[in-house]
Structure 1
């Protein structure tokens, strides 16, 4: 009897403890000390508590000569979820965000300013420590108005809706020598430039993963919506089905069968002096994680949990993993941008980095085609800017170390496009071409203070006649135009600039503001990555 009562008491205590734990107010992991809230828009704060629990959220600021407060309350729903709206705020620091239920969570050193999502693959992930002159960068990193947040790598078969399943979310930190080393170098330099130019706090949410394709960052909803991309969604569903229906016993049996066949074959190959293939991998008790290249899985784990958080815009450095399908990227990338705008429920300004020069694939132009697909997105969609980095590349290293010009050119695009600054934020972009007297005369937008050739004569221009064969062209700047000619092409009909993976010598066409021209072409020859029509 005593043992039964003791057991009953233990269960009762456990239930009460569990109930108390569940009743604790917990904000979403995006909310922590040092965070930045987006200025100028209604704010959303959300989290969990006990079912029906009354939750009050209060944002206060005590600044010299002034005090402010905004508060709202709501009852948690039957699942313990709550969402509170606060009125829009002006930029500043020194805020406190208090969330009160049966307990109180108080977040300090909160700022209000501009929040940007920073995403992509390895060149966005590339840290300050791995970049150029990291010690010098860290020495200048002390900035209380720049705040950093990192979403660690994670895949998910479905969009993560449970905030308790976000262990890959970190905490906000203030920019300084001890905090920026492991942070994205491109994002850091973007944020520093933006913060100094705007004079308000800036928050950066870094969420990237090296070697990943764009389809992994798009929702299946978006991939399903385009007939040419639906095969990505179908492949994702097949992968998720295999993941969720994983049978450890069957996997072990299949492994043992495969291992037996491998051993038999290995013995024969060894006897014949031939190489032996890799031994089959022993399966685990749980299914292997879905790979980061699986369509939708990074959106599910690393973008979807951000969607309620108010942000200003996004910066993006990705494309290397899609270079083999550059023509498709025209459709895929624009679909992904539209998808993010729909999911974030705003016309999300989107600033992208055009791929750096690199040797690329065997065709010699797959990177050139991907850059063209990126340029296409900026022309097809509003509030979409581009950072051209033809002068920042390495033929044999896909990760060029200079990241400061990359981040700062992204900031220039954001300042000009989203913030309306009267600045030159692009290098020369082709406006028109006219052919006469054996020459091609090119005019440009974004001339700025004038066109210049850095370090000698202009290089990288080609012309072609009606035969479609491109040859190097002599190029000369005349006022705000560039005139091209070639003795091999008496009647040019098409022009290209920088239409190679890695230009030798380095492309040197700039405006006087020091911004490089984007590569371009005027012909409409099929991409080498363009699928051939079926016969």
Structure 2
């Protein structure tokens, strides 16, 4: 891994213009006896290096506020709603713990703040997945002596309207704490910490089992072509909500009565409380998680976003590409950075019980890859490191490393290979098809046969193909298909045989198809 001669920091997220949207959710003025800071400003925080850092909070309307950090001291005054903000000038990375001081009618001191790289990690359960549940968890936790890596994790929160505040604290990485960190985010951060030599903060805003439409703002999602279907599915969920809520209230009252009686009689009561139905403002409502878990983070300055999601959108593959690109664009607009780096994980191989021999995830992977047409995006392919019978593969180390490779190459100027082979073109030559690739340096299949290719003629019947590497191309053919018209690679939920094409960096080839059937 070759570092750049003069590393360039990523274009940071600059969020000043978003205050009006997210800090003025309530139009009515309210009194605040003390000056307060947004909850992200807690002991142990990490500030983004080489970028303006917005600091904000509330106090009494028209109150004078002074903010000090390092050698900087800034003064401002709250508006009629009591909101205030200042922007610290860009700072170099620093391991020296510093104190943020805010003075109004009272004084606040936030201690142990470092300056380095800050990344927002988001998505569903595979991003939420913790270090203690990953491969080699005991060894990983025992060796996690990285006090300059910190995590902030807000609780799962869904809301019908954008929220102003988020609850949480910055946790310093140690063998005792790292087990609860996002595994993908931690292994990404560890690689950056080692290569860049700066502190790294990760904001772990994740929620397992969630659909992408819940992570997009109401304004943005209202513009997508599938909004009718999305709204119809949401209304279908709400149809039975009143009856379910009535039943829940009765069940809960009975459960509470039984529990109270048991407690009064000195008995142990182990029956679980009934689960409240999910209705308005729940995780299934479009935009609800954006409102509760992304909007309150604005305008904290971050370097970029890591995203791992898609499993819960199975069944709506045709909608995903537009939803995903819409979300990326909307988040960039929200964070006031049109070039905000956005790196994501393509779904790993996995057998779906509802679709054991199907291709639903192949189409989802294709929809995810469509986002690569947007600038400053990158995709970590995981088709080779999944677990056939588990939607949560444990090898998060490699996922985090592959995401870090993208950031190191594209945002920090490192000269390295960060992507596996990606189909560039297909040329039919008689009974064979010649496939060319980008990122094809040193094409190989490791110690395994070259497998994963299927070929079809005009009848659209696919057969396993013989595949041979010729220089920087792959030539495929089959005696069953004398006149080929289409090739597919790794095109299944869990491809069998396992796809083996990779480049010299041992990064796997991206699944593809040459047809549009």
TM-score range, shorter chain: 0.7 to 0.9
Q: How far apart in 2 are the matches of 1:316 and 1:282?
A: 33
Q: Could you say which structure has the greater relative contact order, defined with CA pairs below 8 angstroms and 6 or more residues apart? A: 2
| Residue in 1 that maps onto 2:397 | 404
Is 1:37 matched with 2:47?
yes
Tell me how far 1:79 sits from its aligned partner. Answer: 2.1
Q: Which runs of 5+ in 2 are unaligned?
A: 1-29, 251-272
| Residue in 1 that maps onto 2:268 | none
| Residue in 2 that maps onto 1:529 | none
SS of residue matched to 1:143: coil
| Residue in 1 that maps onto 2:214 | 216
Q: How far apart in 1 are the matches of 2:473 and 2:89?
A: 51
| Residue in 2 that maps onto 1:92 | 94
| Residue in 1 that maps onto 2:192 | 194
Tell me if the contact between 2:456 and 2:481 (Cα under 8 Å) persists in the aligned partners: yes
Is 1:367 matched with 2:361?
yes
Task: Pick closer, same or farther for the CA change 1:235–1:494 going to 2, 3 Å.
Answer: closer
Structure 1 residues 95-144: Cα deviation after superposition (integer angstroms, max 9, x where no partner): 22111112211112211111110011111111111111111111221112
Q: How far apart in 2 are the matches of 1:130 and 1:429?
A: 32
Tell me if the contact between 2:160 and 2:285 (Cα under 8 Å) persists in the aligned partners: no
- Say which of 317, 320, 324 aligns to 2:308: 317
Q: How far apart in 2 are the matches of 1:336 and 1:345?
A: 14
Tell me if the contact between 1:319 and 1:355 (Cα under 8 Å) persists in the aligned partners: yes
Tell me how far 1:287 sits from its aligned partner. Answer: 9.1
Task: Pick closer, same or farther for the CA change 1:70–1:222 going to 2, 3 Å.
Answer: same
Task: Pick closer, same or farther for the CA change 1:86–1:505 going to 2, 3 Å.
Answer: same
Specify the structure having the higher radius of gyration (Cα). Answer: 1
Q: How far apart in 2 are the matches of 1:253 and 1:402?
A: 42
| Residue in 1 that maps onto 2:24 | none
Task: Pick closer, same or farther for the CA change 1:28–1:253 going to 2, 3 Å.
Answer: closer
Tell me if the contact between 1:251 and 1:283 (Cα under 8 Å) persists in the aligned partners: no
Tell me if the contact between 1:224 and 1:233 (Cα under 8 Å) persists in the aligned partners: no
Q: How far apart in 1 are the matches of 2:225 and 2:448?
A: 48
Tell me if the contact between 1:255 and 1:282 (Cα under 8 Å) persists in the aligned partners: no
Q: What is the TM-score with the length of structure 1 in the denominator?
A: 0.81
Task: Pick closer, same or farther for the CA change 1:178–1:83 going to 2, 3 Å.
Answer: same
Q: How far apart in 1 are the matches of 2:239 and 2:330?
A: 24
Q: How far apart in 1 are the matches of 2:187 and 2:363?
A: 27
- Say which of 224, 227, 237 aligns to 2:225: 227
Q: Which runs of 5+ in 1 are unaligned?
A: 1-19, 61-68, 257-280, 526-535
SS of residue matched to 1:144: coil
Structure 1 residues 264-320: Cα deviation after superposition (integer angstroms, max 9, x where no partner): xxxxxxxxxxxxxxxxx9998x99663312211100000000121111110011000
Tell me how far 1:418 sits from its aligned partner. Answer: 2.2
Q: What is the TM-score with the length of structure 2 in the denominator?
A: 0.84
| Residue in 1 that maps onto 2:260 | none
| Residue in 1 that maps onto 2:204 | 206
Is 1:126 matched with 2:120?
no
Task: Pick closer, same or farther for the CA change 1:240–1:255 going to 2, 3 Å.
Answer: closer
Greater Cα shift, 466-475 or 314-323: 466-475
SS of residue matched to 2:415: coil
RMSD value over aligned CA atoms? 2.6
Give 1:419-498 correspondences, 5 Å limit.
419-448=412-441, 450-498=442-490
Q: How far apart in 1 are the matches of 2:489 and 2:511?
A: 5
SS of residue matched to 2:222: helix
Q: How far apart in 2 are the matches of 1:342 and 1:298?
A: 17
Q: How far apart in 1 are the matches of 2:61 and 2:430?
A: 80
Tell me how far 1:381 sits from its aligned partner. Answer: 0.8
Tell me if the contact between 2:31 and 2:82 (Cα under 8 Å) persists in the aligned partners: no
| Residue in 2 that maps onto 1:8 | none
Tell me how far 1:421 sits from its aligned partner. Answer: 1.8
SS of residue matched to 1:512: coil
Q: How far apart in 1 are the matches of 2:65 and 2:112?
A: 21
Task: Pick closer, same or farther for the CA change 1:58–1:237 going to 2, 3 Å.
Answer: farther
| Residue in 1 that maps onto 2:287 | 296
- Say which of 300, 311, 326 aligns to 2:317: 326
